[in-house]
Amino acid sequence: MAKTLKEMEKAKEKANLVTIYLDGKEAKVPEGITILEACRMEGFHVPTLCYMEGLSSWGGCRICVVEVEGQPNLVASCVTPVREGMKIRLSSRAVREARKTNLELLLSNHPLDCQLCDRNGSCELQELAYEFGVREIRFGGERKTYAVDMSSPSVKRDANRCILCGRCVRTCREVQSVCAIDFANRGFDTFISPSLGLPLGESVCINCGQCILACPTGALSEVSHVEMVWDAIEDPGKFVVLQTAPAVRVSIGEPFGLPAGTVTTGKMVAAFRRLGFDRVFDTNFTADLTIIEEGHEFIGRVKKGGKLPLITSCSPGWIKFMEHFYPELMENVSTCKSPQQMFGAIAKTYYAQKMGIDPKDMVVVSIMPCTAKKFECQRDEMCASGYQDVDFSLTTREAARMLKEKGIRLEEMPEENFDDPLGISTGAAAVFGATGGVMEAALRSVYEISTGKTLEKLDFYQVRGLDGVKEASLEINGMEVNVAVAHGLGNARRLLDQVKAGNSKYHFIEIMACPGGCIGGGGQPIPTNLEIRMKRIAAIYEVDKNLPLRKSHENPAIKKLYEEFLGEPNGEKAHHLLHTHYMPRERI
């Protein structure tokens, strides 16, 4: 597994060191690391393409080749371990020529229409071509053409742009343990395909979009809702309501050149208001609502001896994963809809009534860090208002693109506030954007609601951070409540298999499909890597800390919503509007 710089530094402290020579410079590096890792530790840049941090190294693209003295062939630095005394040349003519040739070969089977590509500007192939000074492609010949696969509600696959680096395949297998896609055919006819050659939309793909983040080119992208949203905004007969997810405010600055981890809530609101939405609301409002519903569901299950552990249901990628791979755990999963869907249902009922708008004229748009949200809002069950509750779901990337198209510079916007009342939220909702956040928010409310006491320490550091599986326990009314948090479905399997085997000690489990939680979602700006994930997480907790209210049950707008409209948490109306059901799906 490709290691991070930090892990390597750690390794350096422990491991035996070997002496190697990088372009003549002596370096002592830990035994067992690869040449590439050694180069990065020593500050040498080696271009890569199929290599990706956090995935196994594959060695297929042959871009990172280097020369090792005494070896007849060039070796791929990403898979070749260092050896004592190894003399490595990183910048010889042979190395430069081989890299350029292999890049040209890739380009010879790739469309040369960068301007028309989704990834224009964020494409690694384009960047390498620029860096390597490619001005012509010496090797002409056949270019493979494939039909674009638009069958998935979330992920668009354009195999024409695929360079077969396999990062998507490895992400799907190693990070998500979904294995929806793999290589098919061989040689020049190789392509990436869901099993049995089925379209992606009919596969076990859970729509998480991590493959999009992994893709170096425009072969994978989200199914765009941009045109539909333009149509809605520009239609005077439509009342267009926007909701923005907790994780968007800490990432949407990135496409505008702001450093990762910049909190841009106010600027973001101002920008979207200028885009033409009639109301700019906050998904955080329904994140608070989710906590109330899910918190009461948990308390209810504990009191009534219901199915435990309760598993969160906010992440639509996780939900589809569960339906395919763990249908036997269906009853463990909370029936609460995700905040996006709660928002749609509330907007088209409560808010529409309040405003005297016919819900058929209302369009609810969400901006999500997520591609699975596109799938979720189109699920048949998600029509509690009588209409599709959420009409369109944009990724953070699409939203940034719309702003740019209209010439709105987010970084220059003034700070503005969300509209009332669906724009009022607490810090508990804010942390939904990071792994462990839903659990932390739930614990804050569950504790206070069930004990009637005030929680002294609101920060549950045990459930924060990027460890794959985290756990904590909390005494509530004399009961030791064990909770666990997993992000990335490969990690989640560790918890789920325990539940399945009946030996899980946990009462409450949070699962987020994407590594890092929503801030690392498949709809987030590219690049999204470990370092950027950490910065976004830090920003999420900054948002939480700076909010006056940090517990969902203290949200005044939520209280009012129950008083005016919903009645009791988990009551009949709440059940109708805010809860859902699941269905087992085939594993193909």
* Site residues, another protein (CB under 8 A): 57-63, 65, 73-74, 76, 79, 81, 94, 97-98, 101-102, 105-106, 108-109, 138-142, 164, 182-183, 185-190
- Closer residue to another protein in complex, CB, 82/352: 82
Question: In sequence order, which residues have a C-beta less than 8 Å from that of residue 41 and are 6 or more positions away?
Answer: 5, 8, 9, 12, 27, 29, 33
Question: In whole angstroms, how close is the CB of 271 to another protein at the nearest point?
Answer: 41
CB of 363 to another protein, least distance (A): 45
518 noted as active-site residue: yes
- Residue 178 corresponds to which tokens in the numbers above? 């979904």
* Distance separating alpha carbons of residues 106 and 60, to the nearest angstrom: 12
Nearer to another protein, 51 or 351 (CB): 51
13 Cβ contact list (under 8 Å, min separation 6)? none
- Choosing from 381, 416, 471, 542, the catalytic residue is 381
Tokens of 272: 């979207």
Among residues 272, 170, 148, 165, which one has the least CA distance to residue 221?
A: 148
C-alpha dist (Å) from residue 99 to 49, 61, 131, 563: 11, 9, 11, 66
- Least separation, in Å, of the C-beta of 168 and another protein? 15
Q: Residue 269 region, left (φ>0) first, then alpha (ψ -120 to 50), else beta?
A: alpha
Tokens of 282: 């906050």
The separation between CA 485 and the C-alpha centre of its own chain, rounded to angstroms, equals 16
Catalytic residue among 376, 398, 440, 448: 376
Catalytic residue check, 381: yes
Active site (annotated) includes residue 376: yes
Nearer to another protein, 138 or 494 (CB): 138
The CA distance from 307 to 300, in Å, is: 10
**429 vs 290: CA distance, rounded Å:** 9
* Count of C-beta atoms within a 10 Å radius of residue 586: 9
Task: Quote the least distance from Cβ 99 to another protein, whole Å.
Answer: 9
**Residue bearing tokens 């505008």:** 256
* Cis? peptide before 259, omega within 30° of 0: no
Active site (annotated) includes residue 314: yes
Q: Which is nearer to another protein, 42 or 182 (CB)?
A: 182
Backbone angles phi, psi at 65, to 5 degrees: -65, 145
Closest to another protein by CB, 188 or 304: 188
The answer to whether the beta carbons of residues 317 and 370 sit under 8 Å apart is yes
Pick 193 or 243: Cβ nearer another protein = 193
- The minimum distance between CB 52 and another protein, in angstroms, equals 15
CA 177, 430, 545 angle in degrees (round to 5)? 125
Between 185 and 417, name the residue whose CB sits nearer to another protein.
185
Q: Which one of the listed residues 3, 156, 337, 373 is annotated catalytic?
A: 373
440 is catalytic: no
Largest separation between any pair of C-alpha atoms in the chain = 80
Nearer Cβ to another protein, position 59 or 276?
A: 59
CB 498, min distance to another protein, A: 24
Active-site hit among 294, 323, 398, 510: 294
Nearest distance from residue 182's CB to another protein, in Å? 7
Contacts of 196 (CB under 8 A, 6+ apart): 588
Q: Is 37 a catalytic residue?
A: no
Active-site residue (options: 152, 251, 313, 334): 334
Look up residue 31 and give its two tokens.
Answer: 């035994």
Contacts of 121 (CB under 8 A, 6+ apart): none
Q: Minimum Å distance from CB 73 to another protein?
A: 5
Q: Please say if 28 is a catalytic residue.
A: no
Q: Which residues are catalytic?
A: 294, 297, 314, 334, 373, 376, 381, 518
